[in-house]
Chain A
């Protein structure tokens, strides 16, 4: 009996995943991804002509930086847009009226986004392998996939919580930028020019420290140095990957918690 239930949940997850994958395929997302890849490739070729030395490194670094931001942004916009539209057009309500658990609903979408992010990252790696060694590209690609999943899961949390595209996108962009620049924020907070010892300064330092506990270390993910210098050793990678997976699980549990409490 238990086995049958589990099989049913897996079937529901599979169906919902395929439906989300079809939505991504039939919508404008593919065009957006193709646009980012094409623009990145053109940019890399152009900069390759401009650079007078370290041409390949210049192309690798700039293409990687461009693809990292561009692809993560397109994925986040797709996730927010798709989830909010389902809530606004009541198709989510229709799904929930069927014998489908909210867990299956969430994991159906989540699995589809994992597959989409994986395809997008593989395409980016293929493009980058024109300019960079394949083994460096793989390291970069794995960390980019984790970074994409972190942002995508956070986008799901925001879409369920806010129910509005502009608000959710703003929150995702804020989360992404802050997570990538926490070191700079900490530097500014910990080393003020005037050590006034004021309450404001103490609060600023406390908030900066608190944010480091809340946010993931995105500044260590998908760095161009992994491509250019092959800087991502296994020793550095394993704790980072584990932390990435754990943070995705944390965000997923927040999204599930919120989804279960929503009365659509």
Chain B
């Protein structure tokens, strides 16, 4: 059915005026009542049970897993990162991360968030909870999740200053992650602990190694890790940085 348009002059003036006035009123109302969105970190609720999540997913668990992570991310992702993370209920955060992994066991997103976001909290107990979470998830699929445990080793070594824990994790990494794709340096992290490198140096080597071996292809992850690497390199003393460059050659 073809419907053509009549000239603008056929529209009564009161309709045109009404339209302009009401559109302006809508704009003004929104302008006046506009309130910047605020996140309330203390209100993070527990996720539904695994069975209920599967039911909600309606045969598309991957989709729900991704949506859950985006939701969690928007929940805590705000300026002044250390303060909100401190206020977050980490028990709940871990429940959400676990729920996402139950829905999509192959997804690396929850482990990425645990390793690179939630571990940056300035609270030893919460950092230990994150390490425990990464450790448990690593054991379920070591060859796919080795890099998160490698990062956990660095957190244990440098932020918690718990050398025993760092060595234990590095040992598990060496013994369990035995796939062909696991780089040599990841399996040798135990030695690094013994050599007692600085935190920023170790983290920069880990991220630099990940970026160089070409396993990371996602442009957002590449950007995030490159920014993090730059941030870390700015904190490394010049002498240590030169030594890193020499060892890379």
Contacts and interface: CB of A to CB of B under 8 A. Distances in A.
A183 B10 CA distance: 40
B12 interface: yes
A193 B224 contact: yes
B10 A246 contact: no
Contact of A261 (B8, B25, B36): B8
Given A188-B70, A250-B22, 14 more contacts: A187-B39, A193-B117, A194-B220, A194-B223, A213-B27, A243-B33, A253-B18, A253-B22, A256-B15, A257-B15, A261-B5, A261-B8, A261-B11, A263-B6
A103 interface: yes
A187 B12 contact: no
Interface of B: 1, 3-6, 8, 10-12, 15-16, 18-19, 22-23, 25-27, 29-31, 33-34, 36-37, 39, 70-71, 73-74, 77-79, 117, 220, 223-224, 227
A22 interface: no
B26 A247 contact: yes
Nearest to B8: A261
Nearest to A192: B77
Contact of B1 (A88, A213, A239, A261): A88
Contacts of B16: 257
A57 interface: no
A246 B37 contact: no
20 contacts: A87-B1, A187-B39, A190-B37, A191-B77, A192-B77, A193-B73, A193-B224, A194-B220, A194-B227, A196-B223, A213-B30, A243-B29, A247-B26, A250-B26, A256-B15, A257-B15, A257-B16, A257-B19, A261-B6, A261-B11
Contact of A249 (B3, B18, B73, B224): B18
Contacts of A250: 19, 22-23, 25-26
B224 A194 contact: yes
B37 to A, nearest CB: 5
A2 interface: no
A260 B22 contact: no
Nearest to A198: B223
Nearest to A188: B74
Given A213-B27, A243-B29, A263 B5 contact: yes
A184 interface: yes
B223 A184 contact: no
Given A257-B11, A257-B15, A186 B37 contact: yes
A264 interface: yes
A129 interface: no
A163 interface: yes
Contacts of B1: 87-88, 163
B153 to A, nearest CB: 24
A188 B39 CA distance: 11
Interface residues of A, number: 33
A2 to B, nearest CB: 15
B6 A254 contact: no
Contacts of A213: 26-27, 30-31
Contacts of A190: 36-37
B6 A187 contact: no
Contacts of B33: 239, 243
Given A88-B1, A187-B74, A212-B30, A253 B11 contact: no
A250 B19 CA distance: 6
Contacts of B25: 246, 250
A260 B6 contact: yes
Nearest to A90: B1
A261 B220 CA distance: 47
B78 A191 contact: yes
Contact of A262 (B5, B22, B73): B5
B19 A253 contact: yes
A264 to B, nearest CB: 6
Interface string A163-186: 100000000000000000001101
A88 B29 CA distance: 38
Contacts of A243: 29, 33
B26 A191 contact: no
B74 A260 contact: no
A192 B77 CA distance: 7
